[in-house]
Amino acid sequence: MRIYSVYRGPTPKPNGDDLNFVSEGFSWIAFLLPLIWALYHRLWLVAISVLIVIAGVGYLAAAFGLTASMENAIYLAVVIVFGFEANNLRRWTMWRRGWRQVAIVGGRDIGAAERRLFDLFALTPTGTLIPRSESQWPNSI
């Protein structure tokens, strides 16, 4: 089961169109393609930082006369750390842009997590999330 943090945009939209589910844990795509992952999620500062770190690894490797295998090992360590921290950087950027965490839900996939969120919260026509009463909550809590 995966755990998701649910974020709400600064201005609520009807039908929950501004809800964003961010997965907890390691991101394989961020590990394999760090710059593309950052640009896809519109994390501009993170993308610039990734470029600086990658260029810095190459520059320092040349400055200290490291072999290609040592440079690759350092790069591998950097992208492993980035894979673990990528979703945290995404959360941080959303927080800076005014998004707020409204829930933490779990599910097999994002669809199950969405169903779980709407089992726990009702969405008003204006887009406000309100907790359902405990008597309406599913027994699986």
Over residues 10-21, the pLDDT tens digits come to: 887 777 778 899
Contact, 1 vs 108, CB < 8 A? yes
pTM of the model: 0.81
Inform me whether the pLDDT recorded for 141 exceeds 70: no
Average pLDDT, the chain: 89
pLDDT of 118: 87
Structural domain boundaries in the chain:
2-136
Across the range 62-88, mean pLDDT stands at: 95
Q: What is the 3-state secondary structure (H, E, C) of the chain?
A: CEEEEEEECCCCCHHHCCEEEEECCCCHHHHHCHHHHHHHCCCHHHHHHHHHHHHHHHHHHHHCCCCHHHHHHHHHHHHHHHHHHHHHHHHHHHHHCCCEEEEEEEECCHHHHHHHHHHHEEECCCCCEEECCHHHCCCCC
